Amino acid sequence: MDSPRLPATLGDWLELIEYRHHTAIDLGLDRCREVWLRMGTPRPAGRVFVVAGTNGKGSTVANICGFLRGLGHSFGSYTTPHIHDYNERVQVNGKPASDQALVEAFKTVEAALGDVSLSYFEFGTLAAFQLLSEQNLDFAVMEVGLGGRLDAVNLLDADCAVITPVGLDHQEYLGDDIEQIGREKAGIIRTERPLVCGQSEPPRSILDAADAAGAPLTLLGRDFTVEPGDSHMIFRQGDVSLELPRPSLRGAHQFTNAATALAAVLALLPEAAQQGDALSRGLASVELHGRFERVRDNPDVWIDVGHNPLGANVIAAALRERGGGGGRRIVCVLAMLADKDAEAVVQELRGVVTEWFCAGLDGDRGQAGQQLAGRVATVVGPEPVSHFERVSEALQAALDGVGPEDGILVFGSFHTADEADRYLQGGW
């Protein structure tokens, strides 16, 4: 019997792997490890950073890559999800992988699959391992998709583990207790290998896990600090003091993300502390869509992929810096998946947002704009809340209803950011 014909295009491959495994999130390493072993355990690079946490993972990955670029090292990265194109997930020296390179990596995973069923994320993660392993890179920077302990990325032994701020999210998979969530994130820690933690008071479970593993811990506020300035930041760690440019990513929280990234780089490259100019060039080169990104002015329109209370909290602080809650009118185009804590998100933003334009999202986890508006109204009351079928419709209504001095925040998910950005670019 002839073997089934494999897809020819990246789009066809993505449709196939999404169709095959009906559980979108299927935690556990056994199935993925079996296929990885059959593939010959490809490792993305000689040295690997693994980044976990609730918020700030993507920004921290981007900053680590920026510093590595400035220092002249070759690097690859893996992040999820993407905003526009799947290729964004796997990058080599800051450039998205080509369709053909991804297709060839998918073929390699397929050849090792046998009778094992992998989720969309797992299949893509192994493909990323394979693609990056063929590039002869100095470093790889790999973002955990969900949790840490049971995430497919955790097949890799991290040379340096990085944990960004931890909060409540994905409770149905990780638990609704911050210490339990911390234990899941701590699963990326490896014995006697460095851990960098970008939270001054992380869950105790992370500290205990680091101690049990004998992992040298570098902790924000204790071992390294950052002092924000109008045009610069000052990073301090032990005897090291570096003045670097202000992060190109917006928001006060980006100072912490940049400092965490630098602490991680210094954990594996301590000599880089003597290369301030290279680090400055690297930090200035960082770009990342959808992280409090201002995509239009007069009025200002910011797009952020945040989707949980911790993310909303840091965005609220960024809006206050720009007059929100202090006389400047800020409206929010909000679209969130049904399993997210919309009420808690709105509670964090209500002090700076004056009006809510709620939109629907499609898919199994989506919800209608009207449903979301009802949830928002339980927090803020019905008067400043309206609902729309699509993000594009809500955004246009917001644009029609504000003045040039006002601001619009687009928030709630990667899907929200994608549709809003495409609409503003005229591609929707």
State residue 382's pLDDT score. Answer: 83
Reported as a single tens digit per residue, the pLDDT across 309-358 is: 988 998 999 999 999 988 899 999 999 999 899 999 999 999 899 999 99
* Residue type at position 283: L
Within 10 angstroms of residue 211's Cβ, the number of other Cβ atoms is 11
Per the structure block, which two tokens stand in for 152?
């497919």
Task: Determine the longest span between alpha carbons in the chain, in angstroms.
Answer: 72
The sign of the torsion formed by the CA atoms of 379, 383, 388, 390 equals negative
Strands 139-143 and 232-237: unpaired
Check residue 178 and give its pLDDT.
87
Q: What is the pLDDT averaged over residues 186-206?
A: 96
Look at the block and give the residue holding tokens 């999820």.
80
When pLDDT is averaged across residues 16-38 and rounded to a whole number, the result is 83
Residue 211 pLDDT greater than 60, yes or no? yes
Confidence of residue 4 (pLDDT cuts 50, 70, 90): low
Which of 222, 217, 215 minimizes the C-alpha distance to 238? 222
Half-sphere exposure of 158 (CA within 13 A, CB side): 31
Q: What per-residue confidence (pLDDT) applies to 251?
A: 82
Mean pLDDT of the chain: 92
Show Cβ contacts of residue 281 under 8 Å, excluding neighbours closer than 6 positions.
70
E strand or H helix at 301: strand 300-304
CA dist., res. 258 & res. 323, Å (int)? 24
Least confident of 22-36, 42-56, 130-144, 224-238: 22-36
Residues 6+ apart with CB under 8 A from 5: none
Q: How would you label 23-53 residue by residue, b for 16+ Cβ within 10 Å and e otherwise? A: eeebbebebbbbbbeebeebebbebbbbbbb
Give the pTM. Answer: 0.89
Domains and CATH numbers, the chain: 10-284 (3.40.1190.10), 293-424 (3.90.190.20)
Encode pLDDT of 102-127 as tens digits: 999 999 999 999 999 999 999 999 99
More confident: 254 or 174:
254
If one compares 33 and 147, the residue with the highest pLDDT of the two is 33
Determine the pLDDT at residue 23. Answer: 64
Instruction: Give residue-wise pLDDT tens across range 372-425.
Output: 999 999 999 888 999 999 999 999 999 999 999 999 999 999 999 999 999 998
Asked if residue 299 has a cis previous peptide bond (ω within 30° of 0), the answer is yes
DSSP, residue by residue, 351-404: TT--EEEEE---STT---HHHHHHHHHHHH-STTEEEESSHHHHHHHHHHH--T
pLDDT at 408: 97
Calculate the CA 327 to chain-centre distance: 32
Q: Is 72 exposed, middle or buried (0-12, 13-18, 19+ CB in 10 A)?
A: exposed
pLDDT of 291: 87
If one compares 196 and 168, the residue with the highest pLDDT of the two is 196
Q: Which residues contact 220 (CB under 8 A, 6 or more apart)?
A: 197, 198, 199, 200, 256, 259, 260, 263
